[in-house]
Amino acid sequence: MKILLVEDEPLAKQRIVSILSNHREDWKVTESAQTVSELRDSLSRIQNFDLILCDIHLADGLSFKALQEFEIRVPIIFITAYDQYALQSFDHNCIDYVLKPIQEGRLLMALKKASSFSKGKSDFSFPEDFFNDILKNYSSKTFKKRFLTKLGSKMVFIPIEKVAYFFSEEGITYLVETNSSNKYMVEHSLTDLHENLLDPLKFYRINRSMIINLEALMEIRPYQNGRLALSLNVKSEDILVVARERVGEFKNWINQ
């Protein structure tokens, strides 16, 4: 199977190629594009490809802008760092999506779905104005820039850049400020923070009760039972441990 890979992040591209070479030796990336402009050029030769792996956000804009200009008759697997905004629009049996950081199992599942259509390539078709409609309804997801918290009798703002990590204790969520031991209550659950409010390229949920900021990470070291212990730029005695089942994904996230 001949693949057009549309991706502007070198590490993400490298990971995709590695997964393909390890599990789909006969699937080859025959052409790559990093920008909307390059994607347009590649799509002018759409007959040369059996599958498109396509990042949504490229250096010069959204890949949808190029896709809407061509008749696409091959499966597309979208790659994105975001998990809500327009993904409901992808309810179509010729396409799938994979979230960043890319998990091997999830990408393989999408590739399996794509392969089920390869024999009937000529039957592919997208609804008229499909990509145009996505662009019309599309709005880039925005993330929290600051948190309003209480310090004694005062209300204070904590910029997101000063948050080292969040943790939950007895049903209450706290943030811990970088370069200090200050902690503040926030009116959001960890799940809400993880799924809706925090940039997934900067924040990672290392276990059920903690979310860390990559920019505050200082050290990673082995911990008991195959887990990892983290040191962050804070004055705190809390032990931050990556759950064993998340170690592999965490390493991929760090390496994105």
Least confident segment among 42-51, 173-182, 223-232, 247-256? 247-256
For residue range 72-117, list pLDDT tens digits in order. 888 899 988 765 544 555 655 567 888 888 889 999 999 998 887 7
Model confidence at 2: pLDDT above 70: yes
DSSP state of 126: P
Model confidence at 140: pLDDT above 70: no
**Cα 214–chain centre separation:** 14
Q: What average pLDDT does the segment 199-228 reach?
A: 92
Q: What average pLDDT does the segment 35-51 reach?
A: 94
Q: Residue 95: what pLDDT?
A: 76
Does domain 146-254 fall into CATH 2.60.120.10? no
Cα three-residue angle 158-251-90, rounded to 5 degrees: 80
Cα three-residue angle 79-83-89, rounded to 5 degrees: 80
Q: What average pLDDT does the segment 228-233 reach?
A: 94
CATH architecture of the domain with range 2-137: 3-Layer(aba) Sandwich (3.40)
Q: Residue 210: what pLDDT?
A: 96
Contact residues for 154 (Cβ-Cβ < 8 A; gap 6+): none
Model confidence at 55: pLDDT above 70: yes
- Closest among 224, 230, 229, 226 to 244, alpha carbons compared: 226
Q: Residue 92: what pLDDT?
A: 57
The whole-angstrom separation of Cα 205 and Cα 246 is: 9
DSSP state of 198: S
| In contact, 145 and 160? CB cutoff 8 Å | yes
Residue labelled with tokens 């994607």: 39
Provide the token pair at 193.
């923070």
Model confidence at 121, in pLDDT bands (50, 70, 90)? Answer: low
For residue range 189-206, list pLDDT tens digits in order. 999 998 888 988 789 999
Fill in the amino acid letter for 160. Answer: I
Model confidence at 134, in pLDDT bands (50, 70, 90)? Answer: confident
Question: Domain extents for the chain?
Answer: 2-137, 146-254
